[in-house]
Amino acid sequence: MIPVGAVLDEDTCWQVIDHERTTLADLLEGLGPEEWERPTQCGDWRVRDVAAHLTVAARFSYGQVVGEMIRARGNWNRMIQDSAVREAQRPADEIVALLRATIGSRRLAPVTTRREPLIDILVHGQDIALALGRDREMPRAAARDAADRVCTMRVPPRPWPLPRARLVATDIEWNHGAGKEIRGPIAALLLLLTGRDAAAETRLTRTG
């Protein structure tokens, strides 16, 4: 049992990542062709683009990443976008197999820590579930750890601006920032921190 408010240690973090990868692969395996093409709240990515993206960091070598960065002219976000869209051209069953192949892998993309794949699998798992109209529970202690990392990211650069407010979790001990309060479950706050405002808002309350 992970104590409420605890930061995940390395082994626990990877156990959560592996569990989330496993259950997401199980979900993807049962999708029909139309479901793979549904739009998500992650920019203009479809379900298949999000799923393909989740296979990249654990598979690409440093040399491949350098090549991708050169192709994207040094733009980190463009590199992520381009690699995901290109990998999404694979057949759906191949994307699922590649995601399953990441289970147990601790390979990291350059300049990242174990907390980046944690953010990825938690948030993108929600992107996919929401697009499909499915419920996907987010483990609270893991969501808290991911939220902490989002708030302190410098390298790689955080692509989302932080809300100018005091964020307060209502289901676990966690808060961040100052100003008017935004309160809600830690999972909803993590979605807010990562730019999924529409997905988060129905579960949040604002005061002050």
Residue 193 predicted with pLDDT over 60: yes
Q: Which amino acid is at 63?
A: G
Cα–Cα nearest to 13, from 26, 2, 27: 2
Residue 57: the pLDDT is 83
Q: Given a cut of 70, is residue 127 above it in pLDDT? A: yes
Over its C-alpha atoms, the chain yields an Rg (Å, rounded) of 17
The Cα 56–Cα 87 span in angstroms is 8
Please state the rounded mean pLDDT for residues 82-99.
94
CA distance 2 to 17: 15
The amino acid occupying position 189 is L
Does the structure show a pLDDT above 90 at 110?
no
Q: What is the pLDDT of residue 2?
A: 39
Average pLDDT, the chain: 90
- pLDDT tens, position by position, 153-192: 887 778 899 999 999 999 999 999 999 999 999 999 999 9
In this prediction, residues 78-94 reach a mean pLDDT of: 89
Statement: residue 1 has pLDDT above 50? no
33-37, 96-100, 159-163, 177-181: least confident range: 159-163
> Model's pTM, two decimal places?
0.90
